Amino acid sequence: MPAVLEIKNLDVSVEGRKILQKANLDVYDGEAHVIMGPNGSGKSTLAFCILGHPAYKVEGGEIIFKGSVLNDLKTDERARLGIFLGFQNPLALEGVSFFSLMQAAREAQNAKRKAQNMDIFELHNELGEKVSSLGLDKDFVMRGLNDGASGGERKKLEMAQAKTLKPRLAIFDEIDTGLDVDALKKMGEEISELKKSGVSVILITHYQRILNYVRPDKVHIMVDGSIVQSGGAELAEKINESGYSYLKCPVQT
Ligand SMILES: Nc1ncnc2c1ncn2[C@@H]1O[C@H](COP(=O)(O)OP(=O)(O)OP(=O)(O)O)[C@@H](O)[C@H]1O
Ligand SMILES: [Mg+2]
């Protein structure tokens, strides 16, 4: 079976500076891949490129999703194909509620599936349950998205969006940063649930601790815009113990 996502020799520049260099990654159905790497190594750039952020220029290589090349598609077209990105720094959208955003997204999904739009009261209840299950007050459904929300609350709202949209591929960029210990456990369990339901996950993180709750199929280390090493959960443990200096003298296996 082909991979859900194939990144092939991706070269990307931003503002004329090369950031990604021959990045490669294959993600299969229902797999969870973790990407770690030093600050500024290009992890968020890779996530933005998969969604087609216009500031990032693809100079070479391909991004293939479910067998189709995405390179020339706009962000909304990629989202409609079933790719979701939870941002490292979710922005506040004053005047656009979680409800109205999810309503628009559901309408777009239903139009694509030629399905009938759901009742708005049903959607309101569903979103209320989603935010409550993440430990957020139901007020978050109608408030401006992330408006006045704390760092941890914003990460929970990113997860609430992923749970509502049920994408085929969910990319979470540091969704574990800024969470208290209970919220971290809950977030890990939510990611695990998504994986069990067949969603492919790319989890960008600096910390091994979320992997106590999400069993990764692969862990990759990105340095200077390339994946320099891939392995299992033990790779995240090595980084946790020794930092990235470990990569300069890799253990012989
Ligand atoms: N829009 C931009 N304009 C200028 N430079 C950028 C832009 N986006 C990314 N960069 C640069 O590209 C490099 C990679 O950034 P990126 O955000 O992908 O790193 P990262 O691996 O996600 O880091 P972190 O772990 O700190 O989140 C950095 O040096 C960053 O300053
Ligand atoms: Mg980043």
- Residue 146, classed as helix, strand or coil, is coil
Paired tokens of 246: 């470990």
Q: Which domain holds residue 18?
A: 5-91+167-248
> Is the CB of 54 within 6 Å of ligand 1?
no
Residue 180 in any domain: the answer is yes
Average pLDDT, the chain: 94
Task: Show Cβ contacts of residue 42 under 8 Å, excluding neighbours closer than 6 positions.
Answer: 12, 19, 20, 23, 222, 224, 225
Taking the chain, what is the end-to-end CA distance rounded to the nearest angstrom? 30
Flag whether pLDDT at 253 surpasses 60.
Answer: no
What pTM value is reported for the model? 0.95
For the stretch 125-165, pLDDT in tens is 999 999 999 999 999 999 999 999 999 999 999 999 999 99
Give the pLDDT of residue 252: 42
Paired tokens of 90: 């979710």
Residue 253 identity = T
The ligand 1 atom at the shortest distance from the C-alpha of residue 225 is 14
CB 191 within 8 A of CB 172: yes
Residue 196 in any domain: the answer is yes
> Is the CB of 16 within 6 Å of ligand 1?
no
The structure tokens 């649930």 sit at 193
- Give the residue, by CA position, lying nearest to ligand 1 atom 30: 40
Give the pLDDT of residue 117: 72
> Is the CB of 109 within 6 Å of ligand 1?
no
Residue 227 CA to residue 37 CA, distance in Å, equals 9
Domain count, the chain: 1
> 234 C-alpha vs ligand 1 centroid, how far in Å?
26
Residue 136 in any domain: the answer is no
Residue 126 in any domain: the answer is no
Backbone angles phi, psi at 204, to 5 degrees: -95, 125
Looking at the DSSP bridge assignments, the partners of residue 5 are: 27, 65
Give the pLDDT of residue 1: 74
Residue 218 in any domain: the answer is yes
For the stretch 16-58, pLDDT in tens is 999 999 999 999 999 999 999 999 999 999 999 999 999 999 9
> Is the CB of 226 within 6 Å of ligand 1?
no
Residue 120 in any domain: the answer is no
Instruction: Give the mean pLDDT of 7-11.
Output: 98
Burial 174-194 (b: 16+ CB within 10 A, else e): bbbbebeeebbebbbebbeeb
Flag whether pLDDT at 181 surpasses 70.
Answer: yes
C-alpha to C-alpha distances, 93 to 84, 146, 209, nearest whole angstrom: 18, 7, 30
> Is the CB of 40 within 6 Å of ligand 1?
yes
Count how many residues are written for the chain: 253
> 177 C-alpha vs ligand 1 centroid, how far in Å?
17
For the stretch 191-235, pLDDT in tens is 999 999 999 999 999 999 999 999 999 999 999 999 999 999 999
Residue 150 in any domain: the answer is no
> Is the CB of 36 within 6 Å of ligand 1?
no
Flag whether pLDDT at 239 surpasses 70.
Answer: yes
Residue 220 in any domain: the answer is yes
Flag whether pLDDT at 64 surpasses 50.
Answer: yes
Flag whether pLDDT at 248 surpasses 70.
Answer: no
The dihedral through the CA atoms of 212, 214, 220, 225 has a sign that is negative
Indicate which CATH number applies to the domain containing 70. 3.40.50.300
